Structure 1
Amino acid sequence: MPRRSPAPAASRPLVAATPMAFVKAIVHAMEQRGLSPTAALEAAQIAPSDVEREDRRITALQMEWLSAAAMQALDDEGLGWFNRPLPWGSYGLLARASLSAPTLGVALKRWCRHHGLLTRDITLAVVTQGDEARIILTEHRPPGGPDGGDPLREFCFVSVLRNIHGLACWLVDSRIPLLGASFPFAAPPHADAYRVLFDGPTRFGADETSIRFDARYLALPIKRDEAAMNQMLQRALPIQVRPYRRDRLLVQRVRQVLSNQPQDAHNADDLAALLHISARTLHRQLKEEGATLQALKDEVRRERAMSLLQRTTKPIKQIAEAAGFQNEKSFIRAFRGWTGLAPGEWRERG
């Protein structure tokens, strides 16, 4: 996506989490094209001597400055990844072409298809299998060409997947938590940075390059319009850091975890960990959606308990455990609160 003039540094928290390896990849791309990276590094306030320091990190804002300067110098939004440069505005065209889609699934498939018109070096596809959706990147030519090297390859794969994920979040105005990310290369020295780059576990040395998420997000309607698109394209890089806090499917996801993993979600901390968010964020977002964790737990437990009481002859103790209660007494007490009857009495009357 095109990156334009950045906002003042004071407008965003300066957390240095971006690996210096990505800076090195940009420098390499510029030098490959016979361009000096000095001005771009200066624009990003990066000392040239730091580029070879694997232990150094830069902030997202510095990465924005560096990318913008390098893209303008190269006239390539691909930053040297592909055999053919992507002129300024290429990724903006992809975003605009997806804006009229009725749902996120259609928008992402359109974006992936149109990306193939920009370059044949990689192809992207949206694949759905059961409850899981994957965006798969397939490599047909090494990023940066034969001389591109591993830094450009890693930088390309990470950037393209973060780009499409960030755009997806922006299109539906919702956080889309990842179930995981996979890359075919070995874990780099800065592998710890992937905890910031991608939520969910990251697997290295995998058979494919992909990100995974709950397929239900594909059915969400597009929330943005042309005016919002014009504004976003003035500074598109920040959407890659996914500043979205609201999750439009959080209530559904909580219900699913409580139903499928009742023994692993006894409290807010355990449940939040399974959802890859903090307990505080969990409570706040549920409140924004007019729900509470306790009400959802009661709803799911009640439905499961009543179903087991009606359809099976399991003892009350086993039903209590299957419904997510830590003991039979707490289950009986909760069931009386729901129905006014003990579980055994309710079963006999049913």
Structure 2
Amino acid sequence: MSSSLFKPAVRAATPMAFVRAIVLGYERYGMDPSRALEVAQIAPRDLKNAQARVTAAQFEVLSGFAMQELDDEALGWFGRRLPWGTYGMLCRASLTSPNLGVAIKRWCRHHRLLTEDIALELKVAGGVATVLIREHAALGELREFCLVSNLRFLHGYASWVIDSRVSLREASFPFEAPPHRDAYPLMFGGELRFGAEAASYSFDERYLALPLQRDEQALRTMLRRALPLTVLQYRRDRLLGQRVRELLRTRGREAATAEALAAILNLSARTLHRQLQEEGVSLQALKDEVRHEQAAEQLRRTERPIKQIALAVGFRNEKSFSRAFRTWAGVTPGAFRRGGASEAGRRLASRG
């Protein structure tokens, strides 16, 4: 299995700290990393430069070569080797799952058969799914690289197997922010927390219900070509429209513009518009949908003047609000409040 963990870009963005971690793996086995560094075109003198970076392509070549030469896909992290092909086996063991939730649970369960040094878990609460790592052995100098790699392997597989970016809400790490913390947004996205209790990341629970899109043939092709299992190659997020609705409902002031909303989602505004278009919806339509929901709720449950409701849901004046509300609901805000709420509510539900 390919071990590339980082953004597939031309510029060098992978921190030298992770290259040094692979060199430490060689040292644990009493082996010489010179050939691996040479194949990856990494100068040994650069290992001491904490500010140095290598490209994703260089790191993929280095880690892939090292995994085979050491015959350990864990690169020295654990008390026992994980022979070449181990992570491919984990992929295969989860491939027949009916949905992503079952696939992740199988991955976590089968990983425990490989090593007792760490344990991966999936927890679900309050609409949020969290993958976390429990440490049962001291990982020493390889701790950061081990935890980051295992989170990325599963995140990458999850995105590959449903053929969709799994957008993260948060990623947490049980160590202080390293000097190369600028690489973490490229690896994970979402809110980043250091000094946490455990290594973990969280995402919308609804991803767990998505069916798997890959089969055995696709897996063999992926493993044969050693494609990097990075989430960034899966540009489409199958839950993007739902996530945009949720952000507009809960963080409307922060997400008032396409640029602000895209920043929260770790996308460019252009990419946001394009991906929504692929889903057959526009950002403006989602904004209108949420504003109409909020307006209808206030008309039903409060006695606030219509002018105040118009301003509260983002219209500049009562006239434009009334015109838009009538287009949506078929009645004026006043008529809705007096008795048309049930019919308009049925229309809204049918649009669901």
**Superposition CA RMSD, Å:** 1.8
Q: What is the match of residue 240 of structure 1?
A: 230
Matched, 1:174 2:170: no
Shift of 1:321: 4.2
Instruction: For residue 126 of structure 1, give the secondary structure of its aligned residue in structure 2.
Output: strand
Deviations 1:85-108 (A, max 9, x none): 000111111100000000000000
**In the alignment, is the contact (CA less than 8 A) between 2:2 and 2:229 conserved in 1?**
no
SS at structure 2 position matched to 1:242? helix
SS at match of 1:133: strand
Structure 2 runs not aligned, ≥5 long:
341-352
Per-residue Cα deviation, 1:38-63 (whole angstroms, up to 9, x for no partner): 00000100000001111110111111
The structural deviation recorded for 1:237 is 5.5
- 1:162 is matched with which residue? 152
Q: 1:70 aligns to what?
A: 66
Determine whether 1:222 maps to 2:212: yes
Verify the 8 A CA contact 2:155 2:231 in the aligned structure 1: no
TM-score norm. by structure 2 comes to 0.91
Moved more, 193-202 or 94-103: 193-202
Aligned-pair CA distance for 1:338: 2.6
Q: 1:43 aligned to 30, 39, 44, which one?
A: 39
Aligned mates of 1:131, 1:56 — CA distance in 2: 40
Note closer, same or farther for the CA distance 1:168–1:326 as it changes in structure 2 (3 Å cut): farther
CA distance in structure 2 between the aligned counterparts of 1:237 and 1:136, rounded to whole angstroms? 25
Residue deviations 1:247-293 (CA, integer Å, cap 9, x gap): 10111111111222222222211221222211111100011111111
How far, CA to CA, are the matches of 1:272 and 1:317 in structure 2? Answer: 30
CA distance in structure 1 between the partners assigned to 2:234 and 2:284 by the alignment: 25
Cα gap change, 1:327 to 1:44, in 2 (>3 Å): farther
In 1, Cα distance between equivalents of 2:238 and 2:113 = 32
Decide which moves more: 199-208 or 153-162. 199-208
2 CA distance for matches of 1:115 and 1:324? 50
Are positions 1:331 and 2:301 aligned together? Answer: no
2:234 partner SS: coil
Q: CA deviation at 1:344?
A: 2.2
Partner of 1:194: 184
Q: Are 1:18 and 2:14 an aligned pair?
A: yes
Q: Greater shift after overlay, 304-313 or 88-97?
A: 304-313
Structure 1 length as normaliser, TM-score?
Answer: 0.91
Distance 2:50 2:152 in 1: 22
Secondary structure at 1:62 match in 2: helix
- Cα–Cα, structure 1 residues 326 and 270, in superposed 2: closer, same or farther, change >3 Å? farther
Task: Find the counterpart in structure 1 of residue 346 from structure 2.
Answer: none
Where does residue 280 of structure 1 map in the other structure?
270
Evaluate the alpha carbon distance shift between residue 254 and residue 88 of structure 1 in structure 2; reply closer, same or farther with a 3 A threshold.
same
* Identity across matched positions, percent: 59
Q: How many residues align?
A: 337
* Offset of residue 200 of structure 1: 1.1
| 2:2 partner amino acid | R
Task: Specify whether residues 128 and 324 from structure 1 end up closer, same or farther in structure 2 by C-alpha distance, changes over 3 A only.
Answer: farther
Give runs of aligned pairs for residues 1-350 of structure 1, distance below 5 A: 2-3=1-2, 13-143=9-139, 148-149=140-141, 152-236=142-226, 238-325=228-315, 327-339=317-329, 341-350=331-340
| Conservation of the 8 A alpha-carbon contact between 2:245 and 2:286 | yes
Q: CA deviation at 1:339?
A: 4.2
Deviation per residue, 1:152-172 (Å, 9 max, x gap): 111001110011000000010
